Structure 1
Amino acid sequence: MTETFVTLETAKMLKEKGFMEDCMAFYTKNVLFKCNAYINTNVLKLPAPTQSIAQKWLRETKNIHICVYNCACGYGYEISKADNGTHITSSVYEGTNDGGEWDTYEEVLETGLQEALKLI
């Protein structure tokens, strides 16, 4: 198993919203480069955190929690306030598969990250 890094589009959105954490990967043009150690974000042109780091950053710095759930149709997400659980939005029947959900956890988390970043 390996960690999934955010897509180029999500990395751009994170940087725009103030993400400044050290990362083990970065994008140069459209190519993802992975490193063996954390690199200072000030050196990187476009840091690419793992999905879980981006999710934690949103929770701890922007008070936005992304919850991934599964059901008979696949995976979906809900976005709420991290401090009190107040519902903000969810992915009801917006997914890419025939059931209106996503086929993998990573696909729906990426979409949830992007939707959460649009809220900021």
Structure 2
Amino acid sequence: MNTEDYVSYPLALALKKARFDEPCDHYWYKAYANSDEMSMRQASADDFNSDDWDVPHCSAPTLAQAQKWLREKKKIDVLVWNCACGYGWEVSKAENGTGLILFDDNGDNKDSGCWTSYESALSAGIAAALELIEKEGE
């Protein structure tokens, strides 16, 4: 498992809040009740987004699965592009390509404001799309 291909725990919580409900091959869980540290574990078919367990947990989709869910269920497209400075992202309407948000120069490359990896740019774009969904009250 390459953890950079999966959404972070805060992003997983935001997806859950936006009603992401697809089965995933991994999930985030709290290993110890008195700890704030979250871990990722491989899931069985019914191990996602449950509040019924003794140990809180939520889905850990891949970045690609979250991107596809946003496009198909919420009609929001997160696009990643690259240039000489690194990677950037854009959020647009999936039906017609109308731009909603362009990346915000807060990438991990402090000189350019871009991101140094495709995955980190995609994660930032997904986070921005979920914030947009939350503001619109979907």
Q: TM-score, normalised by structure 1?
A: 0.90
Question: 1:106 & 1:118 partners in 2: Cα distance?
Answer: 18
The 8 Å contact of residues 59 and 65 in structure 1, kept in 2 or not, is answered as yes
Please tell me the root mean square deviation across aligned C-alpha atoms, in Å.
1.9
- 2:35 paired residue number: none
| Equivalent pair of 1:21/1:40 in contact (CA under 8 Å) | no
| 1:39-118 mapped onto 2 (5 Å cutoff) | 39=46, 41=48, 45-97=57-109, 98-118=111-131
Shift of 1:93: 2.5
Equivalent pairs, count: 119
- Percent identity between the aligned chains? 43
**Deviation at residue 96 of structure 1 after TM alignment:** 2.0
For residues 50-80 of structure 1, give each alpha carbon's deviation from its aligned partner in whole angstroms, at most 9, with x where no partner exists. Answer: 1000000000011100000000100000100
Post-superposition offset of 1:95:
1.6
Structure 1 unmatched runs, 5+? none
SS at match of 1:77: strand
> 1:24–1:39: 8 Å Cα contact kept in structure 2?
no
**Which consecutive segments of 4 or more residues in structure 1 shift more than 4 A?**
none
Deviations along 1:23-61, one digit per CA (max 9) or x if unpaired, are: 1000112101124x5445365830111100000000001
Shift, 1:87, TM fit: 0.4
Which position in structure 2 is the counterpart of 1:16?
A: 17
Question: SS of 2:58's equivalent?
Answer: coil
Larger Rg: 2
Once residues 26 and 107 of structure 1 are traced to their aligned partners in structure 2, the CA distance between those partners, rounded to angstroms, is: 19
Superposition TM-score, scaled by structure 2 size: 0.79
Distance 2:64 2:21 in 1: 15
Match of 1:27 in 2: 28
Distance of aligned partners of 1:92 and 1:15 in 2 relative to their CA distance in 1, 3 Å threshold: closer
Tell me how far apart the structure 2 counterparts of residues 71 and 92 of structure 1 sit (CA, whole Å): 15
Quick one: structure 1 residues 60 and 113, their matched pair in 2 at CA, closer, same or farther if it must change by over 3 Å?
same
| SS of the residue 1:12 aligns to | helix
User: Which structure shows the higher strand fraction?
Assistant: 1
